[in-house]
Structure formats: structure tokens, C-alpha cells
Structure 1
Amino acid sequence: MSGVGALRWLDRIETGLIAVLVLAMVLLAGAQIVLRNFFDTGLAWADPLLRAMVLWAAMLGALAAARDDKHIGLDLVTHFVHGRARRVLRAVTLLFAAAICAAMAWYGVGLIELDYGSGAATAGIPNWCLEAIVPVGFALLALRLALRAFRPPRSHAPALAPELP
């Protein structure tokens, strides 16, 4: 399998994980609503698990946005410059964002170390496992942004339809 084919599979897996995660969140939150409103009960572990799932969905969504070059960017200056200066500013901005994400990954490891020793768990899952997306997600985001800094931006314009003879 070529590198491009492997990346496509990775993209599909990432997108599938986001879809499954969001569906699971909707089902679990819906079950909580039904249980609370109609049966005056609920699942004690569901709310903390839903918070962790939101964190995972946000990090996976950020990775997908960076993959597709649709991440949030504060690039006001690049609207006033063109050509080489624009490419350089884009690269500097993306590398700065990658550095911030790398720092967040580093400090995320500290968070995991704190929770690893505590033995605390949510729904039988150790908290450090639920929070592992923080350092892993930010590290992957740093890598994606750094690589994106050296590639041309993806065009957001729709492809032109081929002309018919």
C-alpha cells in the first residue's frame, strides 16, 4: 500500500471515529434525558463520560480540520500581502500554532501523570485513559500543522465542471 493510500485509510478511520463518537454521545445523552424525565433515574457515570466524549470529539474534530486545512486561523495580515510574503507569513503562523500545540501536548503528559497515580475512574475507565486524548491529540495536531506549513494551502473553491464538447 502506498503512503497516499495509507493516509486515505487513516483519514477514513479518523472520520469514522468522529461519526461513531458523536452518535454514541447523542444516544447516551438521549438515554439520560429519557431516564431522568420519565423514570426519575439516570446513569451516574453517563455525565462524566459524556464530558470526556466531548473532549475526544473536539480533539478529533480539530485534527480533521487541520487535515483539510479548515482550521481556525487568525490570519488578518495575510489578506493584505500576496505572493512570497503571504506564503512565508502562513508558514510562520502555522509553525507558531504547531509550537503552541506541542507545548500543550507536553503539559498534557503532566496531566496524565497526575491522574495515573490517583487511580480515579469514570464508568470503570481510568481517568488517565479518558484524558489521554489531550497529549496525543495536541501532539498529532502539532505534527499536522507543522507539515501543513510547508505545503501549499488547500483550495476551498469547488472544482470546475469539465467542459462538454
Structure 2
Amino acid sequence: MRLAVIRNGFDIGLAWADELARFASLSLVYLAMPRLALRGQHIAIGMLPELLGGRIQTVMAIGVELGVLAFCTLTLYGTHAYLMRAGKFSTQAMSLSNWVFYAPATLGITLFALVAVLRLLKIAGFGQSPDHQTGSHP
């Protein structure tokens, strides 16, 4: 209520609050993503692999993890290309360097790629196989 009065009544906006909220929410999403994938608590649709079962299920699990690696690689490449141009600029409200602003997302995607590698190693027999049907570890 008080912020609405300040913003609308005195025409004073709190641009830094919006920017901080955006930074915090994106950081939370990108940093939670690899943790959830590592613990098998991410969203998984397992109807088709469950129906097919056996060797096809393993092949599909490998395909999923390779797809995650491809996504992470393309995202990191795109982020690098973007920051090579925009890294010298700062955000408008909080004057954060774009390198700092995008650091949690870059870290999250990097960790997500490492989780995909770990999950591939588990599928290959270097650990317990991740459960792609229910999204939970045995």
C-alpha cells in the first residue's frame, strides 16, 4: 500500500526493487534446476518410457541426457556471445554489471550440464541408474 502511494501519488518508482526481484527469482530458478535434476525431483513425463521399458527405456534416458547437454552447450555459447558484447554495460536500476547479473544463470546452466554428465555416467553403469519414470532416486 505504502509503495503504491509513493509510486502513484508522488510519481516515484522503485525501479531497483523490480530489478532485484527479477534477479532473485531468476537466480532461484537457475540454481535450483541442477539440484532438482541431481536429486531426481525435476518434472519428468514417464508414460512412454514406462510403456516401452527395458533397453528402449535406457536408450531414451541417454537421449534425454544428451539433449540436456546440447541445451546447456547452446545456452552457454549464446550467453558467452551475448556477454562479450553486453558485458561492459550495467543494469539500469542497480548498476550491476551484466557479468554479475547473468552469473547465477551461467552457473546454474553449467551445473545442470555437470548433472547431465553424472546421470549419463550412472546410466553407463558407473553408479545407480537415475529413475526417469517417477523423477526420484531408488
Q: Same fold (TM over 0.5)?
A: yes
1:112 counterpart letter in structure 2: L
**C-alpha spacing 1:63/1:92, structure 2 compared with 1 (3 Å):** same
Tell me what 2:111 maps to: 140
Tell me what 2:41 maps to: 70
State the alpha-carbon separation in 1 of the partners of residues 98 and 84 from structure 2. Answer: 11
Shift of 1:89: 1.5
Tell me what 2:78 maps to: 107
Q: Report percent identity of matched pairs.
A: 23
Q: TM-score with structure 2 length normalisation?
A: 0.73
Tell me what 1:25 maps to: none
**C-alpha spacing 1:134/1:125, structure 2 compared with 1 (3 Å):** same
- Structure with bigger RCO (C-alpha 8 Å, 6+ apart): 2
Q: TM-score with structure 1 length normalisation?
A: 0.63
Tell me what 1:36 maps to: 3
What whole-Å deviation, never above 9, does each CA across 1:62-85 have from its counterpart, x for those lacking one?
112111112233554312222232
Q: Extract unaligned runs of 5+ from structure 1.
A: 1-33, 160-165
Number of residues paired by the alignment?
A: 125
**C-alpha spacing 1:128/1:47, structure 2 compared with 1 (3 Å):** same
- Residue 153 of structure 1, aligned match among 97, 120, 130: 130
- Contact 2:88–2:98 under 8 Å retained in 1: no
- Contact 2:88–2:97 under 8 Å retained in 1: no
Shift of 1:35: 3.7
CA RMSD of aligned residues (A): 2.6
State the alpha-carbon separation in 2 of the partners of residues 53 and 134 from structure 1. Answer: 11
State the alpha-carbon separation in 2 of the partners of residues 61 and 36 from structure 1. Answer: 30
- Contact 1:105–1:139 under 8 Å retained in 2: yes
Tell me what 1:129 maps to: 100
1:45 counterpart letter in structure 2: W
2:57 counterpart letter in structure 1: R
Q: Extract unaligned runs of 5+ from structure 2.
A: 123-128
